[in-house]
Structure 1
Amino acid sequence: MTTKALSIKDIAKKANVSITTVSFILNGKAVEKNISTAVIERVEKIIKDDGFKPNQVARSLRTGSSKIIGLIVEDISNPFFSAIARLIEDKAYKKDYKIIYSSTENHPGKMKELINLFKSRQVDAYIISPALGTEQDIQGLLDEHKPVVLFDRFLPSLDVSYVGIDHFEASYKATEHFLKLKKRNIALVTIDLDVEQIVNRYDGYKQAILDYNGTQNEAFVLKVPFGQEKEATIAQLKELFKQYTEIDAVLFATNYLAISGLTALKEMGKVVDANFSVIAYDDGDVFKLHTPQISALGQPLEEIAERIISLILMQLSSKEVLETERVILSGELIVR
C-alpha cells in the first residue's frame, strides 16, 4: 500500500501550528518572522521523520526563487567543461544554490530546447557557453531580465556579461615558446569554426610567426571540421605530418584535437622529443600521464568559476539591471 506524501497542511496539523508558520520555516524566514526555536525544532523534526520534500516549482512560484542555476555547455564530457562545471557547482552550493546542466553539442536547436526546459524548471539564472546562432535565444533571456553570464565563447552582438581568457595572448605565448626553441616550421591544428575564441587562437599563432619569422606558411594550418569523427581527424593529421615532414612543432587549438594528434603520432611511430614539440590547448591529466609529458596552455579554472559565480550572484541580488562586465583573464603556459 502506497503512503500518501505529506503536505504542508499535514505538517501544520501534526505540529499544531498554522500553514503560514510551516511555510516560513521551509523558506528560511523563521527567524525573520520571530518564530520560536521550539516551534522551528518541532516542525523540522516532523519534516525529517516523514521525509517531506517540497515541490520545487511550487516553492519557486511562492518565493520567486528556485535557488537553481542552469549551466549550458558544449560538451560536459570534455575535460575543460566538466572541470568548470564541478567548480561552479561547488561554489554555487556554498551560496545555497544548486546547478543543473546539460550539453548542446554546439547545436543551436538543442540549446533553444534546453533554455525552454530550464525556464519550465523556473531556474533563477543562466551560465552559458553559447553555440553560434543562439544570439536571439540569449537576448530573449536578457529581455526578461534574467541573470546571464557567458563563458568560454563571447557573442559580440550581445550586451551580456562574459568570463574568459585572452585566447590571442595564450596562442601567441605558445607559438613564441616554439620560436624561442628555434622551431621554424610550426603547425596549427584547429577547428573550422567561426567563433571568436577559435579565430583569436589562430590570430595569435599567426602574429607570433610573423613577428619572429616574417612569413607564415598557411599549408601548416589544418582546420578540422567541427564534430568530425575522431578516426577521420586522425587520418587528416597523419596526412599532414606525412606531407610536410619539415614540421617541427604543433600547437593544437583544443584538448581533444591534441589527443587525436598524439594518437596519430603514436600510430605513425613519430616521437615527441627535442626535435618535434607539441603544445595542447587546455591542460588535463592525459597530457601529464603521456610519455613524455605534454606542454599545455592551462586556463585558470578556479578563477574563471569564481568570477562567473560572483557575477551571477551580483545579478541575482540586485533589484536593478546591472551594467555588463567582460572579464578577460590570462592563460598559463605549462612547459613540460
Structure 2
Amino acid sequence: MKKRVSIKDIAEKVGVSTALVSYVLNGKEREARVGQEIAKKIRKVAADLNYQPNLIARGLKFGRTNTLGLIVADISNPFFATLARSIELEAQKNGYTVLFGSSDEQLDKSQNLINTFLSRQVDGLIITPVAGSQSQIEELKTKGIPFVLMDRGFSDLETSVVVTDNHEAMYSAVKLLTDNGYRKIGMIAYDTPLTHMQDRIKGYKDALKDAGIRFQSKWLKKVPFEDYKERVARAVLQLIDKKSQPVDALVFATNSISVQALKIIHAQKLVVPDDLGIISFDESDAFEFFYTSITYIKQNLNEISKKAVQTLLKNINSVTPKVERVIVPSTIVVGVSSGKKLKEKVVV
C-alpha cells in the first residue's frame, strides 16, 4: 500500500519546517509572514505529491472537520435519495461535506452508523430516527453532540426536528376524498410509534370525524416494515373484500406502501377512481406505469433539506444551541385517482 503523503514529506521536499507548511496549507501564511514565493512553492509541491489532508487529525486539532453525518431510513427509497442529494448540495454551499448511511429501519444499523460517524469526527448529525432509537438520541443529547432529526421524531423527547406538517397533509388528502363523495375510506400505514406516522393517522381520523363519518377500526391497517410487501398485499385484499363491506377509497401513508398496493389493486381489476379512490403520501416513479394518474401528497424536499442543514449548522456554531421544531408545509398534486365517483354523484 502506498504511503500517505504527510506535511513532513512536503517540508523535506521544499526545505522548510513542518510548521511553515502547515501555516500555508491552512491559509495562514500572512499570520506567519511567509513570503509569496515560498508559499507558492509549498502549494505546488503539495499538489505534485497529491497531498490529502487528514481530516480526522485536523478535526482533533482545530475542533472541526467540516463534515456532517446523514443517516436516512432507506437510501433506496427515492424520497430519501432525493433528500440526501438536496442535503449534500445545501451542505456544500456552506463549505461542508456529507457522509451518508442507511439504517434500513434497524436499531443496530442506526447505532453503528452513529458510532462510525462520530469516530470520523463529524461536526454534527442529521438523523431520520428508527423506531426504538430514543435512547440513542438521548445519548447524543447527553454528550452535547450537535444533531437534528428529520422527517420524524419522538413525541416525548425534546429535540431539534425538521418535518412536514404530516397531520395537515393527510387531513387535506382525506378531505379531498370526502368532498368527492367517498364515505368508506381505508388507510394503510406502517406500525411505528414515530411521530410522522402517528400524525398522519391522526390527520386521517380527524378528517373523517369532521366529515361526519364514523371511523371503523377495520379501515385502518398497520403493517410492519419487515416483510411489508406481503403484509400490504394482505391488507389491501382485506379492505376491498366484497364479502365484508369493502372500502370505497384508500390512502397510503408512504410511497413504498402505495407501490405495493397498486399492484394488488391492478391485479384485482378494480377501476380507479370509480371502484376505488386512491391518494398516496409521497410520489413514486412507478406511478407513471399505472393506467390512471395518482393523486399524491408532495413534500417540499428542498425546503426540508435546507432547513435541516441550517438548523444543524446553527447548533454547531452556537455556544448554547436552542431546540427548534421546524414545520414545512406540503401540497397535494391532484390526479385522476381521487376524482369524483360519478356513479354516486348527487345532483341537487
Q: Give the structure-2-normalised TM-score.
A: 0.89
Q: 1:31, CA displacement in angstroms?
A: 5.0
- Structure 2: unaligned runs, 5 residues or longer: 336-348
**Structure 1's 142 and 25: CA in aligned 2 closer, same or farther, altered over 3 A?**
farther
Alignment of 1:86-97 (within 5 A): 86-97=85-96
Distance (Å, rounded) in 2 between the aligned partners of 1:4 and 1:214: 71
Q: 1:29, CA displacement in angstroms?
A: 3.4
Match of 2:267 in 1: 267
**Structure 1's 224 and 124: CA in aligned 2 closer, same or farther, altered over 3 A?**
same
**Structure 1's 49 and 251: CA in aligned 2 closer, same or farther, altered over 3 A?**
same
Match of 1:173 in 2: 172
Give the 3-state SS of the residue equivalent to 2:47 in structure 1.
helix
Distance (Å, rounded) in 1 between the aligned partners of 2:292 and 2:32: 63
Alignment of 1:68-83 (within 5 A): 68-83=67-82
Letter in 1 for 2:7: I
Alignment of 1:1-336 (within 5 A): 4-31=3-30, 33-243=32-242, 244=244, 246-318=246-318, 320-336=319-335
Distance (Å, rounded) in 1 between the aligned partners of 2:294 and 2:141: 41
Give the 3-state SS of the residue equivalent to 2:68 in structure 1.
strand
Contact (CA 8 Å) 1:127, 1:149: kept in 2 or not? yes
Q: Which moved more, 1:95-104 or 1:162-171?
A: 95-104
Give the 3-state SS of the residue equivalent to 2:204 in structure 1.
helix
Give the 3-state SS of the residue equivalent to 2:240 in structure 1.
helix
Contact (CA 8 Å) 2:105, 2:225: kept in 1 or not? no
Q: 1:128, CA displacement in angstroms?
A: 0.6
Give the 3-state SS of the residue equivalent to 1:71 in structure 2.
strand
1:186-242 Cα offsets, whole Å, 9 max, x none, are 111111222221111111111111111241222221111232241342233223212
1:22-79 Cα offsets, whole Å, 9 max, x none, are 2223334345555444333322221221111222222211221121111112111111
Letter in 1 for 2:281: Y
Letter in 1 for 2:125: Y
Contact (CA 8 Å) 1:230, 1:260: kept in 2 or not? yes
Contact (CA 8 Å) 1:135, 1:157: kept in 2 or not? no
1:117-171 Cα offsets, whole Å, 9 max, x none, are 1121111101111123222222222222221100111123333211001111111
1:288-315 Cα offsets, whole Å, 9 max, x none, are 4533121111111000011011111112
Q: 1:5, CA displacement in angstroms?
A: 3.5
RMSD: 2.0
Q: Which moved more, 1:197-206 or 1:215-224?
A: 215-224
Contact (CA 8 Å) 1:187, 1:250: kept in 2 or not? yes
**Structure 1's 32 and 322: CA in aligned 2 closer, same or farther, altered over 3 A?**
farther
1:268-300 Cα offsets, whole Å, 9 max, x none, are 122323442211111233234533121111111
Contact (CA 8 Å) 2:14, 2:41: kept in 1 or not? yes
- Structure 1: unaligned runs, 5 residues or longer: none
Contact (CA 8 Å) 2:150, 2:161: kept in 1 or not? yes
Distance (Å, rounded) in 1 between the aligned partners of 2:164 and 2:32: 45
Give the 3-state SS of the residue equivalent to 1:187 in structure 2.
strand
Distance (Å, rounded) in 2 between the aligned partners of 1:4 and 1:198: 50
Letter in 2 for 1:312: L
Contact (CA 8 Å) 1:30, 1:40: kept in 2 or not? yes
Give the 3-state SS of the residue equivalent to 1:25 in structure 2.
helix
Letter in 1 for 2:186: A
Contact (CA 8 Å) 1:283, 1:299: kept in 2 or not? no
Q: 1:4, CA displacement in angstroms?
A: 4.1
Give the 3-state SS of the residue equivalent to 1:81 in structure 2.
helix
Letter in 2 for 1:212: A
Contact (CA 8 Å) 2:315, 2:322: kept in 1 or not? no
Give the 3-state SS of the residue equivalent to 1:271 in structure 2.
coil
Distance (Å, rounded) in 1 between the aligned partners of 2:97 and 2:74: 20
Give the 3-state SS of the residue equivalent to 2:222 in structure 1.
strand
**Structure 1's 34 and 255: CA in aligned 2 closer, same or farther, altered over 3 A?**
farther
**Structure 1's 43 and 260: CA in aligned 2 closer, same or farther, altered over 3 A?**
same
Question: Percent identity between the aligned chains?
Answer: 34
Aligned length: 334
Letter in 2 for 1:293: S
1:237-280 Cα offsets, whole Å, 9 max, x none, are 22321245642211000110000111111111223234422111
